[in-house]
Homo-oligomer: A and B are copies of this chain.
Amino acid sequence: MIFPKSFELLIQSFRKLPGVGQKSATRYALHLLRDQTNFEELILNLQQAKTQIQSCTVCHNISESELCQICINPNRNPAQICVVEDLKDLIAIESTNNFHGTYHILGGLISPIDRIGPDNLNFQTLVNRLTKIEQSELIMALSPSIEADTTIYYVAKLVQPYNTKLTMISRGISFGYELDFVDEVTLTKSIANRTPYNFENE
């Protein structure tokens, strides 16, 4: 069927959203045509999000003001900085409700193949933060990969002049995983990095 051009363009726009195929995109467009209130509301909320959401000048989290709600929260420890690749990872850690420090979003990982070097990432603002903190801890919370290892190595070199403790989230076998389905690298490392059993942790 030949759709009107503006309807076709709308479907194409929806198709660019992650995981949305032709069928879902058409359903979304049809739904909006049927429900004009929703249609107007979606346009309005997209426009507002576009104009109001900015990047926190300290940690690069999304925010509607200069500082994000995590950075201005007096209950969060500004000396404990969890370094993440992107907002998605920050949201994942926040949803555990168990981390009470602050974050620093790098905006990617060092990846020479993709031509992403240190200059393309938020390292300068990280160093700026460290200069203002007497004693800090940087927790590198990056999804395990070659690029993550490169980035962690770079950060380790970068923060040497500062009084900061560099840690990494532990790697190993995830809860609920079957040992025989785990890749060899992870399995080898999880044996090499074995931890003593501790009644208190269980």
Q: Is the CB of A6 within 8 A of B91?
A: no
Number of this chain's copies in the complex: 2
Q: Is the CB of B50 within 8 A of A39?
A: yes
Q: Is the CB of B6 within 8 A of A52?
A: yes
Q: Is the CB of A53 within 8 A of B4?
A: yes
**How many angstroms from the CA of A88 to the CA of B1 in the assembled complex?**
12
**How many angstroms from the CA of A95 to the CA of B1 in the assembled complex?**
6
Q: Is the CB of B28 within 8 A of A49?
A: no
Return the chain B residue nearest A42 by Cβ.
B13
Binds B, one of A17-25, A116-124, A155-163, A192-200: A17-25
Q: A6-B45, A18-B31 are in contact. Are A38 and B13 (CB under 8 A)?
A: yes
What 1/0 mask marks residues of chain A from 26 to 70 whose CB sits below 8 Å from any chain B CB?
111111111100111111011111101100000000111000110
The one of B2, B32, B62, B90 that contacts A4, using a Cβ cutoff of 8 Å? B62
Q: Is the CB of A88 within 8 A of B30?
A: yes
Instruction: Answer whether residue A16 sits at the interface, using C-beta atoms and an 8 A cutoff.
Output: yes
The one of B6, B35, B48, B91 that contacts A26, using a Cβ cutoff of 8 Å? B91
Q: How many residues of A contact B (CB 8 A)?
A: 54
Instruction: Answer whether residue A133 sits at the interface, using C-beta atoms and an 8 A cutoff.
Output: no
Q: A4-B63, A95-B1 are in contact. Are A19 and B9 (CB under 8 A)?
A: no
The one of B17, B29, B38 that contacts A49, using a Cβ cutoff of 8 Å? B29
The one of B4, B41, B88 that contacts A64, using a Cβ cutoff of 8 Å? B4
Least distance between A24 CB and chain B CB atoms (Å): 7
Contacts of A95 in B (CB 8 A): 1
Spell out A's residues near B (CB within 8 Å): 1-7, 9-10, 12-14, 16-20, 24, 26-35, 38-43, 45-50, 52-53, 62-64, 68-69, 86-88, 90-91, 94-95
Q: Name 10 interchain pairs, CB-CB below 8 A, sorted by A.
A: A1-B90, A1-B91, A10-B46, A10-B49, A14-B42, A17-B28, A19-B27, A20-B28, A33-B53, A43-B46
